[in-house]
Amino acid sequence: MHGTPRTGRHLTKRHSDNVAVFWPGQAEPTKGGHAHHAEAVEFFKTFPDNHVANNPYKILFGYCDYTCSVADITGTMMGPMKGADGSVILPTNKTFNVEFCTVAHWKDGKIVEEKLFYDLIGLLKQIGLM
């Protein structure tokens, strides 16, 4: 999960301009580095204290042009969230802790496709939205 200055550096450094990012519960991938950065900014507004425990990763391996990582991600819903229908969901101030998996396809040192996996239902239940 990617707001803050560290997010911007992370995304522009590692993601290609035409990256496709697949999120749980999202019918179509996010296309383009700028669009992925914009959704990261929104995520940080909703969960400003989010943290990916990746030092070390629980699992990290690569094969050919792919990497796969598993880590825990935690956070607190301290900001509003845009619902699937465009409505605004008010902060619940509840915390979440879920496992987060990223499978990335790399070309020329940049991610061109990223598939993100986590327990979306579990996260929504933990923050009080289900």
CA gap 1, 14 in Å, rounded: 13
Domain residue spans in the chain?
Answer: 5-126
Residue count of the chain, please give it: 130
Helix, strand or coil, per DSSP, at residue 22: strand
Q: Given this model, what pLDDT does residue 3 score? A: 34
Nearest 5°: the CA angle 58, 59, 64 is: 160
Q: Given this model, what pLDDT does residue 54 score? A: 92
Mean pLDDT, consecutive 10-residue segments, the chain of 130 residues?
48 86 92 91 94 95 98 97 91 97 97 96 96
Q: Write down the CATH number for the domain with range 5-126.
A: 3.10.450.50
Q: Given this model, what pLDDT does residue 26 score? A: 87
